[in-house]
Structure 1
Amino acid sequence: MKYRKLGKTGMDVSVIGMGTWQFGGEWGRDYTQPEVDAIFDKARETGINLIDTAECYGDHLSEEFIGRATEKDRENWVLATKFGHKFHDLYERTRHFSADDVRRQLEDSLRALRTDYIDLYQMHTGVGEEFDNDELWTMLDKQKQEGKIRHIGLSIGKKEDSYQTKRAADTGAESIQVIYNRLDRSPEEDVLPSAEEQHLGVLARVPMASGYLSGKYKPGAEFADNDVRHRHDKDETRRTLEMVEELAKNEVPEGVPMAQWALAWCLKHQAVTTVIPGCKNPEQVASNAAAADLDMVSGNHPQSV
């Protein structure tokens, strides 16, 4: 595994992290603690140390799984979670960004994660007045001073990504999390250059484009009703899968799994600190981790990313 500094935080994070939305039950299956423990055992073995979650992945359910899996060696992990959305049911959430609401969310996340501190506490796609809220950022700064939060980050959405990245310093944020993958290069226009200028750490989420870049799906594939991808327009899905098929033919080196290529492709951008793919089992953890050894500059492997 390779590690990079997460912007100004000074934290060394694995270039391959682990996203954990799946533990909340919205990836088409429910997890047990032994299954999650096995995934974390493989993460330890491969050197992955950055774990990204959110209080709305289930009702703190993902955090609870993670807390039990990491409490025996908490100091070895960089735990990143988010605030602002309340889980009610599959794909049903309400937004809660007031200072008082977020303070309660923080305490609930600390309990769920079985920890005294969160390494990276991220605003979860806040917009408008949710973001421009001095009371919120003042409260979070106080929580930093009390040691409950080590660093603050922004997990940005599409609507205000450039604006929020440029305002990161005003909030005390030291990192941004952004959707970035071979199918969505829009952050290259403004967000990634701005992050470089400000020395912000960058977490690239959805690096495999919700699994489209995993190499498992061909044109005509359909997804179950309890799979997040079932919500995509059928024509959009068809076009996306056709594009993926072209990438597999023209850009993915022979003998390299497409999923690993997709992760390494993100990491070749100098602004990106780490990618945070999801995983369903230990085998996927190992496969993801192997992407750290792909050399996307020369096309050879294994080499330094």
Structure 2
Amino acid sequence: MSGVPFSGEANELFRLGFGAMGLDGRFGEQGDEAMIASILFSLEQGVNFIDTARAYGRSEELVGKALKRWKGQRPFVATKVAAASEPAGYLPGAGFHYSLPVELAYPAGHVTQSVEESLRQLDVDCIDLVQMHQYWPQWDTSDYWMEELIRLREQGKLRFIGVSLPDHRSDLGIALARTGQIDSIQTVINIFDSIAFDGLVPICREHGVAVIARVIMDEGGLTGWLREDTKIPDTDYRHRYFDCVPRSVYTEKVERLGSYIPEHADCLAELAVRFVLSDPGVTVALTSMQVQAYAEANIQAARKGGLPAPVFNTMKVRNRWIRHFYHERRHMI
């Protein structure tokens, strides 16, 4: 990880980040005190990277409250710039799962406004990493959004600049990684969706760009939680997410992963965590840990490190399943 921004500040034991999207209740309401306690527990166990976003409801606020109570070394805090309201005339999900002109997603001044609000919600003077929550390669021809981020960095309001790619299409970030303008790229990486290891991850490593892996549990599907008869509440972010294909198709693919257990992992969730951490090009892997039991299990898995190289390389080939659940889900709404 030599040369990667902020890698020297990361805890090499874990390379596991606290994904704070669940703090807004989209995976089920836990209560403020319980979620703050889970953040503090994770920090006590050595996790030192928190990833939140302006778009995650009260997530930044709760992270800020946890930081005020934390007495140890301050963790690395990353957030994301909220996009403007979804414009009229575009399909649902425009900007995240369909291309949108940058002038509509991030009008001039909007990046600055979002960062200023994040500073207030987190109750900090400087944010370690600010990422664009939406990003499309064609936006690179309009550099005013980057200029706003650079100006905020010069003002001492942020330290590093990154982008979060919209979905599984990790190749969208390759050209940007080669420019030297960006410090980090966040993308989907998991057992089923490992395509980033083919291109983006080695290119980022070559150019000193940090890689932040998200959805490492495939929204919980890679934990063994999902069954044929599992009922997902309408209020849950994952409602109908897995059912863009027959439920049996998904569960059968998960069941095949059982061949790696218990020889290479004690459970599916451990296998999922260790798979993503097997490639040293991944700077940090994010997983939702708003529930302390989840945090404890994920931290224990991360402590074991990556999988043996032959197992990791075999899984990348045999268990890859490229599909676009986010795209399909939009058509079911």
TM-score calculated relative to the size of structure 2: 0.79
AA in 1 matched with 2:33: P
Is 2:87 the counterpart of 1:76?
no
Shift of 1:183: 0.9
Q: Is the 8 A contact 1:220 1:238 kept in 2?
A: no
Tell me the residue number matched to 2:39.
40
When structure 1 is superposed on structure 2, of 286-295 and 42-51 the one drifting more is 286-295
Tell me the residue number matched to 2:10.
13
Tell me the residue number matched to 1:303.
none
Change (3 A) 1:139 1:11: farther
Render the CA deviation track for 1:228-247: whole Å, top value 9, x for unaligned.
22132353543122101111
SS in 2 for 1:266: helix
Q: Is the 8 A contact 1:57 1:87 kept in 2?
A: no
Shift of 1:171: 6.9
Q: Gapped runs of 5+ residues in structure 1?
A: 301-305
Is 2:163 the counterpart of 1:166?
no
Shift of 1:132: 3.6
Tell me the residue number matched to 1:227.
236
Q: Gapped runs of 5+ residues in structure 2?
A: 87-91, 96-103, 312-333
Tell me the residue number matched to 1:292.
302
Q: Percent identity?
A: 27
Is 2:122 the counterpart of 1:113?
yes
SS in 1 for 2:294: helix
When structure 1 is superposed on structure 2, of 258-267 and 131-140 the one drifting more is 131-140
In 2, the alpha carbon distance for the partners of 1:231 and 1:165 equals: 31
In 2, the alpha carbon distance for the partners of 1:159 and 1:47 equals: 29
SS in 2 for 1:80: strand
Tell me the residue number matched to 1:53.
52
AA in 1 matched with 2:50: I
Q: Is the 8 A contact 2:130 2:158 kept in 1?
A: yes
Q: Is the 8 A contact 1:55 1:86 kept in 2?
A: no
Q: Is the 8 A contact 1:18 1:276 kept in 2?
A: yes
When structure 1 is superposed on structure 2, of 190-199 and 103-112 the one drifting more is 190-199
Q: Is the 8 A contact 1:137 1:171 kept in 2?
A: no
Is 2:268 the counterpart of 1:258?
yes
In 1, the alpha carbon distance for the partners of 2:230 and 2:140 equals: 38
TM-score calculated relative to the size of structure 1: 0.86
Query: Number of residue pairs matched?
Result: 291
Shift of 1:32: 3.1
AA in 2 matched with 1:205: R
SS in 1 for 2:10: strand
Over the aligned positions, Cα root-mean-square deviation in angstroms equals 2.7
Change (3 A) 1:253 1:41: same
SS in 2 for 1:270: coil
Shift of 1:113: 0.3
